[in-house]
Amino acid sequence: MGCCDESEKKGETAAMIALTEEDLVRLTAIEVDRDAQEALAFVRQRILPEIRRQQNSRMKGVLDGGTGGLR
């Protein structure tokens, strides 16, 4: 079973985010420093915008008459 199979069965959507080398370096620094404020900033600046972008893309597909990735 793949990473997203269970959520698809429940009718939930999943987001796959490709991290850049810069993202990985930043995450490593967050982990080493145990920096909660920087971790929250990373989520707000990098993760949440990408999730919103993917959700908007799916909805655009639905509104355009396609499935937009929704089942």
Q: What is the pLDDT of residue 1?
A: 47
Mark residue 66 as left, alpha or beta (left: phi above 0; alpha: psi -120 to 50; beta: remaining). beta
Q: What is the pLDDT of residue 59?
A: 79
Q: Return the percentage of the chain with pLDDT > 70, whole number.
A: 68
Does residue 26 sit within a domain? Answer: yes
Q: What is the pLDDT of residues 17-38, one digit of tens each?
A: 999 999 999 999 999 999 999 9
Q: What is the mean pLDDT of the chain?
A: 82
Identify the domain containing residue 25 by its residue range. Answer: 16-63
Q: Which of 65, 66, 56, 62 is nearest to 15 (CA)?
A: 56
Count of the separate structural domains present in the chain = 1
Does residue 58 sit within a domain? Answer: yes
Q: What is the pLDDT of residue 27?
A: 97
Does residue 2 have a pLDDT over 70? no
